[in-house]
Amino acid sequence: MMSRVIKEDIEGIVGEFESNLKELSGKKVLITGGNGFIPSYIVDCLVRVNKDLKKPCKIVVVNKHTVNEKSRLSHLINDSNVSFITQDVGKPFKVPRGLDVILHAASRANPASFLEDPVDTIDANVNGTRTLLEYCKKNPVDNFLLFSSGEVYGNPPKEFVPTSENFYGNVNCANARACYSESKRFAETLCAIFNEKHGVPAKILRIFHTYGPGLRDDGKVITDFFKMGKNKRIIQIKDRGEARIAFCYVSDLSREIFKTMFEGNSGEVYNLGNNSEIVSIKELAEIISEVLGNKSIVKINSDAKEAYVRVRCPDISKIRALGFSPRFSLREGLTRMKEHYDENGI
């Protein structure tokens, strides 16, 4: 079952894009990595709009791990309009027939995960993208969205923060962490080539730091801080907490995805995120402590080296020009995340 908070988020998103989403009536949509944090919101929105369609859209969720009763999308296992395929997209696979829209979101999404198996990280980003683009070359689709990342920019100099789509990156490709950023960059290149040479309507979404209900407890800073604050009443930061990041609430990010999907131009790149607030990791910990209401003590590691990420903030002028504006402040989003945790006994 979805929590009240997620249901409210889904209703808000669908309410804004209802007329656009109804255009998917009778269409077939493929979402790779669909059980993941961000794409699961997209799946839930499509399922919600199906209730209002005489001819519902068919949703194909491709996921590396089998979706079961403990999964984020467990509530959809018996939905007749949703089919689940267990498949590692980094390996050769057969793409389902008759697709109209593809959202390629399958990827390891945090440093601990992609450093655990760098080659697997590269395969999902490169081989998976190539397989899907080859399908689109032979079987024209209405829309192809690549979920890329703000990581492709690396560490921009101060004069390029906030970072626009025109900044070409500052990445050390010899660093092991580059398995993610460089393979995302190459996936973007594949999209550009297939768009120019074969007319595939590819759009590249550079997604920045996103949080909210359903964010997995897999080493991400926000989930770590919530867990430490609730259980130990001490939020221990691994370094000095000086890195500054702009965070985006997941329903705002979902709105940006749909805005790009329905109104963006094929062959173009879009930064997706929220640049209204940019906070240090230490400030983030302090806000989470306040949201928890238990006066957790925030501690830094003053002896640690500088964090890999210094400043990460998108310039979202391009998506704003399509009519998007964020709805949730950081404190509001973190409060909603806490409410989700409380409802689910987390």
Longest pairwise C-alpha distance within the chain:
62
Work out the burial of residue 206: count CB atoms within 10 Å of its CB; fewer than 13 is exposed, 13-18 middle, 19 or more buried: buried
What Å distances lie between residue 276 and 9, 114, 149, 191, 328, CA to CA?
Answer: 20, 29, 19, 29, 10
Distance CA 72, CA 290 (A): 28
Cα-Cα-Cα-Cα dihedral sign, residues 300, 303, 309, 313: positive
**Which two tokens mark 195?**
């768009």
Residue of 41, 153, 180, 249 marked catalytic: 180
Rounded to 10 degrees, what is the CA torsion of 90, 248, 240, 301?
A: -70
- Residue 43, both tokens: 């799946």
First to last CA, the chain: 15
Q: Give, in degrees to the nearest 5, the angle at Cα 326 between 262 and 163.
A: 85
DSSP state of 291: H
The dihedrals phi and psi of 43, each to the nearest 5 degrees, come to -60, -45
- Residues paired with 28 in a beta bridge: 58
Bridge partners (DSSP) of residue 62 are: 32, 85
Active site annotation includes 211: no
Q: Tell me the Cα Rg of the chain.
A: 19
Alpha-carbon distance values, 77 to 4, 10, 68, 154 (Å): 20, 18, 7, 38
In this structure, which amino acid lies at residue 268?
Answer: E
Asked whether the CA dihedral 86, 38, 106, 143 is positive or negative, the reply is positive
Catalytic positions are 180
